[in-house]
A and B are shown apart, each in its own frame.
Chain A
Amino acid sequence: MKRLAPLAIGAALVSAAAWADTAPGDVAFTDGAVEQSLTGKPGDAANGRVVLGDRGQGNCVACHQVSEMADVPWHGEIGPPLDGVGDRWSEAELRGIVSNAKMMFDGTMMPSFYKVDGFIRPGDAYTGNAAEVVTPILSAEQVEDVVAYLMTLKE
Chain B
Amino acid sequence: MLKKAIVLAGAAALTGLASTAVLAGPDDDELVIDGETFVTELPGFEGSPLDPIYSGWRFRDDATQALEMDDFENPAFVFVEQAAESWETVEGTEGKSCASCHGAVEESMKGVRASMPSYNEAAGELWSLENYVNFCRTERMGADALKWDGDELNAMTALIALQSRGMPMAPVIDGPAAEWFERGKEIYYTRYGQLELSCANCHEDHTGDMIRADHLSQGQINGFPTYRFKNTKLNSAHGRFKGCIRDTRAETFAPGSPEFRALELYVAWRGQGLSIESPSVRN
Do any CB atoms of chain A lie under 8 A from CB atoms of chain B in the complex?
yes
Q: Which of B78-86, B107-115, B121-129, B249-257 contacts A (4 or more CB under 8 A)?
A: B249-257
Which one, A71, A78, A125, A137, contacts B18 given CB within 8 A? A71
Q: Which of A31-39, A56-64, A89-97 contacts B (4 or more CB under 8 A)?
A: A56-64
B213 near A74 (CB under 8 angstroms)? Answer: yes
Interface size class of A (residues with CB under 8 A): 20 to 34
Task: Give A65 to B20 CA distance when docked, in angstroms.
Answer: 7
Q: Which residue of B is nearest A62, CB measured? A: B212
Which one, A73, A112, A121, A124, contacts B213 given CB within 8 A? A73
| B51 within 8 A of partner (CB) | no
Task: Give A130 to B253 CA distance when docked, in angstroms.
Answer: 10
A130 near B251 (CB under 8 angstroms)? Answer: yes
- Residue of A70, A71, A76 with most chain B CB atoms under a 10 A cut-off: A76
A70 near B18 (CB under 8 angstroms)? Answer: yes
| B185 within 8 A of partner (CB) | no
| A123 within 8 A of partner (CB) | yes
Interface of B is mostly: loop
| B104 within 8 A of partner (CB) | no
| A129 within 8 A of partner (CB) | yes
Q: Mark B185-202, 1 if CB is under 8 A from A, else 0.
A: 000001111111100011
Q: Which residue of B is nearest A119, CB measured? A: B194
Q: Inside 8 A of B250's CB, which chain A residues have their CB?
A: 119-123, 128
Q: Which residue of B is nearest A61, CB measured? A: B212
Q: How far is the CB of B202 from chain A (nearest CB, A)?
A: 8
Q: Which residue of A is nearest B209, CB measured? A: A77
Within A107-144, which residues are at the interface with B (CB < 8 Å)? 109, 111-112, 119-131, 134, 137
Q: How far is the CB of A31 from chain B (nearest CB, A)?
A: 21
| B206 within 8 A of partner (CB) | yes
Task: Give A76 to B21 CA distance when docked, in angstroms.
Answer: 8
Task: Give A129 to B193 CA distance when docked, in angstroms.
Answer: 11
Known contacts A77-B22, A109-B201, A128-B242: A120-B191 contact under CB 8 Å: yes
A109 near B197 (CB under 8 angstroms)? Answer: yes
Known contacts A70-B18, A109-B201: A121-B211 contact under CB 8 Å: no
Q: Mark B10-48, 1 if CB is under 8 A from A, else 0.
A: 000000001111100000000000000000000000000
| A72 within 8 A of partner (CB) | yes
B21 near A74 (CB under 8 angstroms)? Answer: yes
A63 near B196 (CB under 8 angstroms)? Answer: no
Q: How far is the CB of B43 from chain A (nearest CB, A)?
A: 26
Task: Give A8 to B69 CA distance when docked, in angstroms.
Answer: 67
Within A45-68, which residues are at the interface with B (CB < 8 Å)? 55, 59, 61-63, 65
Q: Which residue of B is nearest A59, CB measured? A: B212
Residues of B within 8 A of A (CB): 18-22, 190-197, 201-202, 205-206, 209-213, 242, 245-252
Residues of A within 8 A of B (CB): 55, 59, 61-63, 65, 69-78, 109, 111-112, 119-131, 134, 137
Closest CB pairs A-B (n = 10): A74-B213, A128-B246, A130-B251, A62-B212, A111-B195, A128-B252, A121-B251, A123-B250, A75-B19, A76-B211
A-B contact pairs, 15 of them (CB 8 A): A61-B19, A62-B212, A73-B19, A74-B213, A78-B202, A109-B197, A119-B196, A121-B250, A121-B251, A122-B193, A122-B194, A122-B250, A123-B246, A123-B250, A127-B246
15 further interface pairs, Cβ-Cβ under 8 Å (given A61-B19, A130-B251): A65-B20, A69-B19, A73-B19, A75-B212, A76-B210, A76-B211, A109-B201, A119-B196, A120-B193, A120-B250, A122-B251, A123-B248, A126-B246, A128-B250, A137-B194
